[in-house]
Chains A and B, each alone.
Chain A
Amino acid sequence: MAATMLTELTPAQWADIHNYRDQLITELCDPNGLNEAAVTTAAKACYAAIGNPKPAVVWVDGPMDVLLAGVLLSSTPALRGQLGGQLGDQLWGQLWGQLRGQLRDQLGDQLWDQLRDQLWDQLWDQLGDQLGDQLRGQLRGQLWGQLGDQLGGQLGDQLWGQLRGQLGGQLGDQLRGQLGDQLWGVIGHGWWSADMAFWLTINRLHGISPVADDLRLKAEAIQTALRCHWWLPLGGVAIMSRQHTELHRDNRGRLHNPTGPAWAWADGTKLYALEGIRLPDWAITAPDPARFLAELTNAEQRRVAFAAYGWQRSAEQLGWKVLDDSGDPYTGCLYQLPKGLLEGEEGESLNLLVGRNGSPHPGGEWAMYGLPVAKRHRTAAAAQASLWGIEPEEWLAVGVRT
């Protein structure tokens, strides 16, 4: 326990923290926000900090290229040694230019998840354990006790919570969904830069006894290295992804672009999303409400796709007819759909129930959902009850819906 405890910050200190937080989020999201020279130096420092020789650092154009380069370099250990030499950059440039397309074709049909074992390197464990977990533990051990409970909670909410939520939750998890959990574990991801940023910010506070320089320098190195969102550390070489070329977010920090990819890299990796919900590319580039019904079976995907296209526009375009408008937005409106527009697993025609969520979204907007229902129902309440497998009276007796 520290002799003195910091229990509150001045308004000026809070302003500094908020500015720093917002600036860090902006930099990590900015296509031009990555200082590759600084990251290269920091990545080498990370290797040195765990007692490994400084690696050659190669830069590629995006997360898929990180994986492709990983396949190439993990299968050619001799090449890794040559990359550290004076002509390493030139050699890599030539080889990568020749082999990238070939590798991409070869691996095109291979499940990425199967590559995990090939790409896994013990080094990532070492970096994660020694530099990540141990450093974090040391920083926490030395700094957390110097903060009063209330101030610790405030910093957790206003600094760590925001960094983690906007960078990890909204962006990191989306690419995780795209790459799959297995590969997610293989590639390093920049969101943990936010973790080190949190501790280093506390370390700088007036009134806190800072940690030893050696510990701080290691934490700064990993924080800088992790500003690169995607990298793969192998013995002798670290493969780093250049920053994305496009990143579009809504006012809540969620991936969102109704006119193109929400997140894209120069290697051709693209993510399409609305309100943080990933969608297939056609749902954005060639939206078709008939395809929304037939192919977007996830309720959230269908919701955001229809919301962007327009429910009324879809109804008019596809010839939906109102069977029962309950007058209650939660119970919703039951539409009769033309035959063949929406079908079940056995080819049976279905209708569509469009109703509102029980709670507004945090931004205050009410989400409308379109749920397929059997043709036999004549009222929206009966259709609602059928989804739960209960009688309409029982559904109407529900006391609270959120």
Chain B
Amino acid sequence: MTTYADIATRTGTTIPEHLLAQAEIPVLPRVIQGDVMIIPTTDTPRRTKPIPVGSEGVNVVQGDIGRNRHILSPGLDSSIVWAPGVVTDPDRDYGHLTVTSGTAVLTHTGEHGSVAVPEGTYRVLGQLDPQTRRRVAD
């Protein structure tokens, strides 16, 4: 079980004041956190270099002036590999995630609660705004 407090300590983030530090982070294979989704995939990443992710995590998305960061990090006793870039959709994909053991946790520096996915391979993607033909920006 990984809690908000576990991840906040390791990633150097602050737990949003409306969330309980000791609450368990939900683990499910399909999750959405704000404008970022993680879904299972059997596709492999295109021309990207996988990198192991330490407990401090890696920024998947970073908004204006550092706000609204979505940080991917391994849960407790977990191991994950992140390959930023295109998996299947050049307009939406942030990258390919492999959870080799345990869980991968997605943390947000704003209001969104943390979510986690179990062992498996995943696409991490955003929304495409048809008005601007860019990812939805906040």
Contact = CB atoms under 8 A, between A and B. Distances in A.
A358 B16 contact: no
A358 B18 contact: no
A374 interface: yes
A390 B39 contact: yes
Contact of A398 (B31, B66, B128, B131): B31
Nearest to A176: B65
Interface residues of B, number: 40
B96 interface: no
Nearest to B137: A298
B133 A389 contact: no
Main SS of the interface on chain B? loop
A373 B130 contact: yes
A173 interface: yes
Contacts of B129: 297, 299, 371-372, 387
Contacts of A364: 18
B89 A400 contact: no
Given A364-B18, A373-B130, A177 B65 contact: yes
Contacts of A11: none
Contacts of B113: 359, 402
Nearest to A390: B39
Nearest to B30: A398
Contact of A388 (B67, B125, B138): B125
B131 A350 contact: yes
A367 B30 CA distance: 22
A367 B112 CA distance: 11
Contacts of A367: 111
Interface string A386-402: 11111000100111111
Contacts of A342: 131
A101 interface: no
A128 to B, nearest CB: 20
Nearest to B108: A402
Interface in B51-85: 64-67
A302 to B, nearest CB: 10
A358 B37 contact: no
- Residue from B35, B92, B130, B133 whose CB has the most chain A CB atoms within 10 Å: B130
A361 to B, nearest CB: 5
A117 to B, nearest CB: 22
A210 interface: no
B1 to A, nearest CB: 15
Interface in B1-55: 14, 16-18, 26, 28-35, 37, 39
A359 B136 CA distance: 18
21 contacts: A173-B66, A297-B132, A299-B137, A342-B131, A344-B130, A345-B131, A350-B130, A357-B34, A358-B32, A358-B34, A363-B18, A373-B130, A388-B126, A389-B89, A389-B128, A390-B39, A394-B39, A398-B39, A400-B28, A400-B32, A402-B32
Interface of A: 161, 173-174, 176-177, 297-300, 342-345, 348, 350, 357-364, 367, 371-374, 386-390, 394, 397-402
Given A367-B111, A372-B130, A390-B39, 16 more contacts: A161-B14, A173-B66, A173-B67, A177-B64, A345-B131, A345-B132, A359-B112, A371-B127, A386-B130, A387-B128, A388-B125, A389-B92, A394-B30, A394-B39, A402-B31, A402-B108
